[in-house]
Amino acid sequence: MTHNSVLLIYTGGTIGMKEDPELQTLVPFDFSGIIDEVPELRKFALTIDSYTFNPLIDSSDVEPDMWRNLALLIKDKYDCYDGFVILHGTDTMAYSASALSFMLEGLAKPVIFTGSQLPIGRPRTDGKENLISSVEIATAKGPDGAPLVPEVCIFFNSKLFRGNRCTKVSSTAFDAFSSPNYPALANAGISIEYDTKHIGWTGKYEGNLKLHTALDTSVSIMKVHPGITENVARNCLLGEGIKACIIETYGSGNSISKKWFIDIVQEAVRKGRILLNVTQCLSGEVNMDIYATGRALKNAGVISGGDMTTESALGKLFILLGESSDTEEVKSLLPKNLRGEMSK
Ligand code: ASP
């Protein structure tokens, strides 16, 4: 590696589309010609290679297999590039970035997810700015020559976020992502200002990149809501094949206190189901000691997800269940901060 280099990985999504004049519809463009689409990239003294997934997908169709392929590709090309930029649809970007953060242990190079709300070939596209800044961030080095952002991140609308702290908050605005419980790692204005204090969770690991590619997806998500029925709760917590359920609760971790609900929770815990409490609120955290309704869950054996996002909780459970069939071990690791995904 003589000078800075980046691998652009295109998985699909709006960013890589352009208008087909004949069909008069949006079609994916050939990513090997990315520099022709975004000639501004030539201004960087960089080697930019691209890799296109086949088939390209709308990210609504993303599966753990795609995450596995991404992780394996990064591992395979790890020594060839200074950083990686993953172009991905916005709909599930926060899920993919969260999952990758858990799959890539000991990451010492930037892996930057980005995408756009408007295709790169459209006037007013946000795709070009998102792509150009992501490339710059993926190859940014500190004074010691080490990568400035050795993390899985999302870059969107001038802000760089830790990937496993993000959630998509708008289906239309350019400001589509938020990281409610952790500050932006960088802001791109006239120059890119890095908040070095908050960067580098994964950089704390010593040693080589270690992949975790065994994922067990036997996880359900139940959003508590007024009028939820016993049948729905039973299916989510005790349905066949379910090993864990993420319970999205109200406020600081509160749920229904009715006897039928607590009975189901207790039965699920007794049967070895792992129940993880995350809040429906965009910011703040679960604290099951504040209200009696939260305390009832805690007493029944529900684990606090702290200020983890649902996206992050899902990725964490997939990996932990994939790596261990010992329920107690998974339960003991869940409240631990493994990749900077929680504040405590
Ligand atoms: N449905 C698209 C996707 O997530 C939306 C986008 O790319 O922004 O792939």
Tokens of 274: 């792992």
Q: Quick one: pLDDT band at residue 122, thresholds 50, 70, 90?
A: confident
Yes or no: say if 312 and 98 are a contact pair by the CB < 8 Å rule.
Answer: yes
Ligand 1 site-directed mutation target among 56, 58, 174, most atoms within 8 Å of CB: 58
Sign, CA dihedral 248-251-256-261, equals positive
Q: What distance in angstroms lies between residue 207's CA and the mean position of ligand 1's atoms?
A: 35
Q: What is the dihedral of CA 94, 96, 99, 100, to 10 degrees?
A: -110
Q: Which atom in ligand 1 lies closest to the alpha carbon of residue 91? A: 4
Is 202's pLDDT higher than 90?
no
pTM score:
0.95
Count of helices and strands (H, E) across the chain = 9, 18
Tokens of 159: 């802000």
119 lines ligand 1 (CB under 6 A): no
Q: What distance in angstroms lies between residue 59's CA and the mean position of ligand 1's atoms?
A: 6
Host H or E run for residue 112 = strand 111-114
Is 323's pLDDT higher than 80?
yes
Q: What distance in angstroms lies between residue 93's CA and the mean position of ligand 1's atoms?
A: 9
Q: Rounded CA gap, 167 and 312, in Å?
A: 9
16 lines ligand 1 (CB under 6 A): no
Q: Rounded CA gap, 318 and 335, in Å?
A: 15
What does the pLDDT look like over 65-97, one tens digit per residue?
999 999 999 999 999 999 999 999 999 999 999
For ligand 1, atom 4, which residue shows the shortest CA distance?
89
User: By CB neighbour count within 10 A (0-12 exposed, 13-18 middle, 19+ buried), where does 122 fall?
Assistant: middle
340 lines ligand 1 (CB under 6 A): no
Nearest to 155 by CA among 100, 209, 59, 87: 87
Question: Is-catalytic flag, 293?
Answer: no
What does the pLDDT look like over 221-269, one tens digit per residue?
999 999 999 999 999 999 999 999 999 999 999 999 999 999 999 999 9
